[in-house]
Amino acid sequence: MTSTQTPAPATTSRRTKGGAPRPGSTGGIADVARRWGHRLADRRFLPVAGTLLTLVLILVIGQARYSTDTRSFVNMRLFSNLLVDNSYLLVLAVGMTFVILTGGIDLSVGAVVALVGLVVAKLLILGVPLPLVLLAGVLVGTVFGLLIGVLVQYFSIQPFIASLAAMFLARGLCNVVSVESLAIEDKGFTDLASWRLKFGHGPSIWYINLSMIVALVVVLVAVYLLHYTRFGRTVYGLGAGDGGQAVGLMGLRAARTKVWVYVISGTCAGIAGILFAFYTRSGFNLTGIGMELDAIASVVIGGAMLTGGSGFVLGSVAGVLVYGLIQVLIAREGLDSWWTKVFIGAVLLLFVLLQRALSTGQKRRRKKNKEESPAPPPAAAPAVS
Partner 1 sequence: MTGTVATDPTPSPADRARRTFSRLAGHTLFWPVVALVVLLLACGVVSPGFLDVTVQDGHLFGQVVDILRQSATPLLLAIGMCLVIATGGIDLSVGAVMAISLAVSLTYIAESGSGTTVGTALTGLALGLVVALVIGAFNGFLVTVLGIQPFIATLILMIAGRGIAMLITKGQITTVTSPPFKAIGSGYVLGIPMPVVIAAGVFALVVLLVRGTALGMLLESIGINREASRLAGVKSRNITWFVYALCGLLAGLAGIVYGAPTMAADANNVGLMKELDAIMVVVLGGTKLEGGKFSLAGCVVGALILSTLERAVVIFHLPTQVTPLFKALILIIVCIAGSDRLRSRAGAARRARRTPAVPVEVAA
Partner 2 sequence: MSTTSTTASEPVVRMTGITIEFPGVKALDGVDLTLRPGEVHALMGENGAGKSTLIKALTGVYRIDAGTIAVAGTARRFDGPADAQEAGVSTVYQEVNLAPNLSVAENIMLGHEVRLGPFVNWPATRRAARTHLARLGLDLDPMSMLGTHSIAIQQLCAIARAMVVDAKVLILDEPTSSLDKAEVAQLFDVMRQLRADGVAILFVSHFLDQVYEITDRLTVLRNGRLVGEYLTAELPRLELVSKMVGRASEDLADIEKAARRTTTHDLTGREPVLRALGLGRDGTVEPFDLDLYEGEIVGVAGLLGSGRTEVARLLYGADRADSGTLTVRGAGVRAASPLGSLQRGVALASEDRKKEGIIGDLTVRENIALAMQAERGAWRKVPAKELDATVARYIEALAIHPANPDALIKNLSGGNQQKVLLARWLATAPQLLLLDEPTRGIDVGAKAEIQRLVAELASEGMSVVFISSELEEVLRLSHRVVVMRDRQKIGELTNGPDVTASTVLETIAASGSAS
Which residue among 5, 307, 362, 373 contacts partner 1 (CB under 8 A)? 307
Q: With the C-alpha atoms ordered 337, 341, 347, 350, is the resulting torsion angle positive or negative?
A: negative
Find which of partner 2, partner 1, none residue 176 binds, CB within 5 to 8 Å per kind: partner 1
| Shortest Cβ 86–partner 2 spacing (Å) | 29
The window from 2-10, 214-222, 242-250, 269-277 that contacts partner 1 (CB under 8 A) reads: 242-250
| 245 near partner 1, rule: CB under 8 A | yes
323 vs 92: CA distance, rounded Å: 13
CA distance 53 to 59: 10
Contact pick of 161, 183, 208, 354 for partner 1 (by CB under 8 A): 161
264, 269, 271, 274 alpha-carbon torsion, rounded to 10°:
-170
* 341 lies in the binding site for partner 1 (CB under 8 A): yes
When the beta carbons of 72 and 282 are compared against partner 1, the nearer one is 282
Q: Which amino acid is at 331?
A: A
CB 313 within 8 A of CB 215: no
Q: Give Cβ neighbours of residue 19 (< 8 Å, ≥ 6 apart).
A: none
In sequence order, the β-bridge partners of residue 282 are: 183
132 lines the binding site for partner 1 (CB under 8 A): no
Binding partner at 375 among partner 1, partner 2, none, C-beta below 5 to 8 Å by kind:
partner 2
Please, are residues 137 and 192 in contact by the beta-carbon 8 Å criterion? no
The single residue among 172, 241, 361, 376 that binds partner 1, judged by CB under 8 A, is 172
Identified binder of partner 1 from the candidate list 33, 53, 179, 197, rule CB under 8 A: 179
Burial of 240: CB neighbours in 10 Å, binned 0-12, 13-18, 19+: middle
Can you give the binding site for partner 1, defined by CB under 8 A?
Answer: 105, 107, 151, 154-158, 160-162, 164-169, 171-173, 175-176, 179, 243-245, 248, 254-255, 285, 289-290, 293, 296-297, 300, 306-307, 336, 338-342, 344-346, 348-349, 352-353, 356, 380-385
